[in-house]
Structure 1
Amino acid sequence: MLAFVPAALFLVLFGVSVREDRRLFRNAVYLGLTLIFLSIGLLTLVPGLPHDLATVIVALVFLIPSLGTVALSVFLIGNGLTMVRKEGRSPGNLLSFMAGAGIIALILFVLTVANQGSAVWDAVAVGVVLLTGYVSFLFLCFLAYAILYGRTKVRGDVDYVVMLGCGLTGGDRVPPLLASRLRKGRAIHDAQIARGGRVPLLLTSGGRGNDEKVAEARAMADWLIAEGVPEQHLRLEDRSRTTEENLQFSRTVMEADDPSYRCVVVTNNFHAFRAAMMARKAGVNGQVLGSPTAKYFWPSSTIREFVAVFWEHRAVNVGICGSIVALSVAMALSV
């Protein structure tokens, strides 16, 4: 049973870290390490298990991930084509297609190099696989914990429901993506009233972009009023231009009214975990909840969020990737 000690250790670290703050990225890494060491522990049991059970464990650890990788690449390519058809050919919309094509290219590259019989090419292949494995591990950690974090529920009373803005259609109209956030925010607001708690203020957050006729906060507030929300239940933060400013300026508004405020921040589900990390950094006292997003939109958006998180932790990530490249070069030169 000693083989399961590392998994148990990282599970404890995961639990302690989540209890400290659910908005930490290290929670995702601890979860991923727990699952990896659990898999290793299960593999150590294989020699002493009945054949059928041993086959199931090996399939779970090796076969399913391998087949899942191929299936994922096909899905991402298909999703990318859907994104291009519905949203246009912007670089952001091509992310899922490029990710799927990249997975297939990597598989073909490794299979081709494996047949070269060259130690130098073997070293290159090792470096590519290690780099890809590291990035893939972080992405799967991010994805798994983002889904887990997305199950966050509102507990107790809140003073504010902060809704983060995004670009307006035609300069003054709320687009479907933003309308989803507003519906979620209003649902939280109404649920708080229905349970007999305090009436939270709906804080719309977003300034006026260069191509917008009104501030996003104003357009959001007008949309909510048209949907029947009393105007006195609304507050506006209309200076912010970025998500960081959304959170910082909203915090200023809330603290000015009540330094001990408690809030819920609403954005779209693909953005919730990263926004939660940003809210923690900004000192916002509250969790982040996600609103529904069109299914075809979610994969590319999630990849974009991961790239942003990866870059935010670039000091560590570049250092580790650089070490992998150096190892690969050292292996090639030692031949």
Structure 2
Amino acid sequence: MPFLAVSSILLVAAAISFAADRRRLRNGVFLVSGAVVGWLGLLVDSGNNSVPVLMTLALGLLLIVSAPVLAVFLVLNGIILLRREGRSLANLLSLLAGLAVVAVPLVLAALQTYVPGLGAVTSVAALLAGYLGFVFVSYLVYSLIYSILPPRRHPEYVVVLGSGLAGSAVPPLLAARLDAAVRLYRGKHGGSIRAVIPSGGQGADELLPEATAMARYLQEQGIPAHRIRVEDRATTTMEKLNFSRGLMERPDAPVTVVTSSYHVFRAAMFTRRAGLRAHVTGARTAGYFIPSAFLREFIAILATYRWINLGFCLALVAVPLAAMTVPLLPF
């Protein structure tokens, strides 16, 4: 019963936090934590009911089988990404993650077996890997949930986040975002939209500001020039949102922010920080690009909450070290 009570508390906390603001990562943390603790409760209280045990064994077998499949997928995806997008650290993430899925468990098992004196070190590494895995699952699950949520209000403004130009041309990734904004403008609730705001400044390798090229693209798709407000100064996501907010007559008006599918949840987190009443929607992204992009987003979120994550990691490091030193204390 204690497991089920804790699970209920976590799930209620997830519901309350979600009702207060959809754009918080803690919603996913509470949800996944509640589900895991609840499942443990079912196992503990199963009694003669073997269904939870059998389902857990099946899930464990599935995880064991899926690990090498996931590793192969990530490695192949990384190779494809490098070939199509070029060599860079960002494009290496999928490949490195695939290698890590196989290498980390093998290295930890080998150290535990052949170097018993490093038991505390391997325990710490396993706990840290488990923590990162839990946070990643929480982020991934809630990102998928958020991406299918309908907006609570009809937007008065649509902000399109820039993603870079190819010289002066709009590349496919950015065109997909602009096309999504056009569909919103032409949709059944388009009549409530006062303006579409393309946002993005000029990069060192760009011939003009992103927003200028984006506005031109929007006009070519049939959006009148007087319904387009160009924000051409921003260089970061936060600047894009803050500067776009300054172009609105009502800064507290409902807004839909358009970005790429992999960037939806982190952009939603930024809209909360910018004080926008915003819903974020994602444009379709090439499939081969998504695994690496999600890994980049996850790393960025870890950095955003770096002090919280550092605190949890230090606590996890302290547990096995304390267990190792306690027997040495005199009594």
Q: TM-score range by the shorter chain?
A: over 0.9
Which stretches of structure 1, 4 residues or longer, exceed 6 Å deviation after superposition?
none
Matched, 1:74 2:72: yes
Partner Cα separation in structure 1 for residue 290 and residue 260 of structure 2? 10
> Which structure would you say has the larger RCO, counting Cα contacts within 8 Å and 6 or more residues apart?
1
Q: Is the 8 A contact 1:39 1:61 kept in 2?
A: no
Matched, 1:185 2:190: no
Q: Alpha carbons of 1:296 and 1:159: their partners in 2 closer, same or farther (altered >3 Å)?
A: same
Partner of 2:82: 84
Partner of 2:232: 238
Partner of 1:130: 127
| TM-score calculated relative to the size of structure 1 | 0.92
Q: CA deviation at 1:46?
A: 4.1
**Secondary structure of 1:287's aligned partner:** strand
Partner of 1:323: 315
Q: Is the 8 A contact 2:182 2:221 kept in 1?
A: no
Pairing of 1:161-172 with structure 2 (within 5 A): 161-170=158-167, 172=168
Q: CA deviation at 1:324?
A: 2.4
Q: Is the 8 A contact 1:201 1:233 kept in 2?
A: yes
Partner Cα separation in structure 1 for residue 251 and residue 136 of structure 2? 37
CA RMSD between the two structures: 1.9
Partner of 1:312: 304
Partner of 2:214: 220
Q: Alpha carbons of 1:300 and 1:169: their partners in 2 closer, same or farther (altered >3 Å)?
A: same
Partner of 1:248: 242
Partner Cα separation in structure 2 for residue 77 and residue 280 of structure 1? 35
Partner Cα separation in structure 2 for residue 229 and residue 133 of structure 1? 49
Q: CA deviation at 1:32?
A: 1.5
Partner of 1:33: 33
- More displaced, 214-223 or 60-69? 60-69
Q: CA deviation at 1:60?
A: 4.5
Matched, 1:17 2:14: no
Partner Cα separation in structure 1 for residue 251 and residue 224 of structure 2? 25
Q: CA deviation at 1:329?
A: 4.1
Q: Is the 8 A contact 1:164 1:246 kept in 2?
A: yes
**Secondary structure of 2:169's aligned partner:** coil
Pairing of 1:20-169 with structure 2 (within 5 A): 20-50=20-50, 53-116=51-114, 118=116, 120-169=117-166
How many pairs align? 327
Q: Percent identity?
A: 37
**Secondary structure of 1:253's aligned partner:** coil
